Amino acid sequence: MPSEVALLESRAMRDEHQGRVEVLDKVKALVTLPDGIHLRTEDVARYFEIHRDAVHSVVKRHRDELQANGLITLKGSELQRFHMAVLATWDESYPQAGAHLRLYTRRTVLNIAMLLRDSDIARCVRTYLLDAEEEGGRRQGYASLDRRVTKVEANLDTVGHALQELGPVINGISVRLDRLDRRLDATNQVVGAMSNRLCDLSDDMRRMERRMDSRMDDVAHQLRELQRGQRRKRR
């Protein structure tokens, strides 16, 4: 959830909440002019329980943003027409129109609530906005989870049928794997026997080599003895 400081500092974040004008009356009753739309500077100051100079200060710093959210200044003939159509019918005593009249809408007041730092009412409005956003996020999260659970439940039957169909296939694969295991065991036995036979053949070869070496030694010795006997005869 965004913090109150982020709401005070970020116009983009304020724009996201600009349509939530209903929170104003939930925090405190907002009294408008007889047209039910506009408020004067003193009306805005009374709502936020601050001096009107504080309202003027916010307007001075954020005029473009507030004008985008309904702030207007009436002068000349426009002011006279508004005075005759709205203010002249008001039971409350209202002085003759001056040189200009600054008017605010509910969107403008909400915008000011997200800009005023030194007003308990403005802080309450911001808190209400952020709490409502968090609660809305939780509701969306619950709704999303509910939809996901419903989807899983709807697919359980399909999953069950699929598992039933897979049962024979899995069983057949299991049988084939058992056969392969038996064949591998038989192959391992054959390989083991061949390995043992090769070891025996290797031992036989070594014994034959030793006998051949011994016989070759005997033949060589006999040849040497024969040669010595022939040399003695010649002498």
Q: What are 167-217's pLDDT values in tens digits?
A: 787 777 877 888 888 888 888 887 777 877 878 787 778 888 888 877 887
Rounded-to-integer distance, Cα 26 and Cα 22, Å: 7
Q: pTM score, two decimals?
A: 0.55
**127 within 8 A of 139, measured Cβ to Cβ:** no
**132 within 8 A of 23, measured Cβ to Cβ:** yes
Helix axes 41-48, 106-113, angle to 10 degrees: 40
- Per-residue pLDDT reduced to its tens digit, 163-172: 677 778 777 7
Instruction: Tell me if residue 35 falls in helix, strand or coil.
Output: coil
The answer, yes or no, to whether residue 95 has pLDDT greater than 70, is no
Instruction: Tell me if residue 75 falls in helix, strand or coil.
Output: strand
Instruction: Tell me if residue 102 falls in helix, strand or coil.
Output: strand
Element (H, E) at 74: strand 72-75
Intra-chain end-to-end CA distance of the chain, in Å: 126
Length of the chain: 235
